[in-house]
Amino acid sequence: MKKLIALALAATFVVAACSSSTDDAVATYCDDLSQLKTAIASIDTLSATSTVDDVTSAKEDITSAQEAVVSSASDVEDAVTADIQTAQQTFIDSVKDVAGDSSVSDAIAGIKTAGQAYVQSVEAAISQVSCS
């Protein structure tokens, strides 16, 4: 009887530990998604008078946030990353249109459009995992 009670208690602790670990993983993933969304939103501050360095800096911030999402997603069963990665690639492709000495004004519309689609994919991922 004591062994049965001990086994039941051990199982309870394992389930609680797994649940806590899963909750922590989801919370981290949700935080990373939120940070990615914020980084992407910084695109809205870019304008036709922004410099190539401004665009490059925004891209680097977004890429760093994206890497955190991909990393934390690996610990979350319902994580959605494929659409986010596709949207990121579209964004990166739009930023490639801004060459060293070229004017940002030529590429800004495409960058902002790609950024809006990127935000939508992040919002879908947030909704999928029910981040609050």
Q: Note the pLDDT tens digit of each residue in 32-76.
A: 999 999 999 999 999 888 888 898 899 999 999 999 999 999 999
Q: Note the pLDDT tens digit of each residue in 8-33.
A: 444 444 444 445 677 899 999 999 99
pLDDT score of 68: 95
Q: Note the pLDDT tens digit of each residue in 75-119.
A: 998 788 888 989 999 988 888 867 655 678 888 888 899 999 999
Q: DSSP of 33-98, one letter per residue?
A: HHHHHHHHHGGGG--TT--HHHHHHHHHHHHHHHHHHHHHHTT-TT---HHHHHHHHHHHHHHHTS
pLDDT score of 121: 93
pLDDT score of 71: 93
Where in the chain are the domains?
26-129
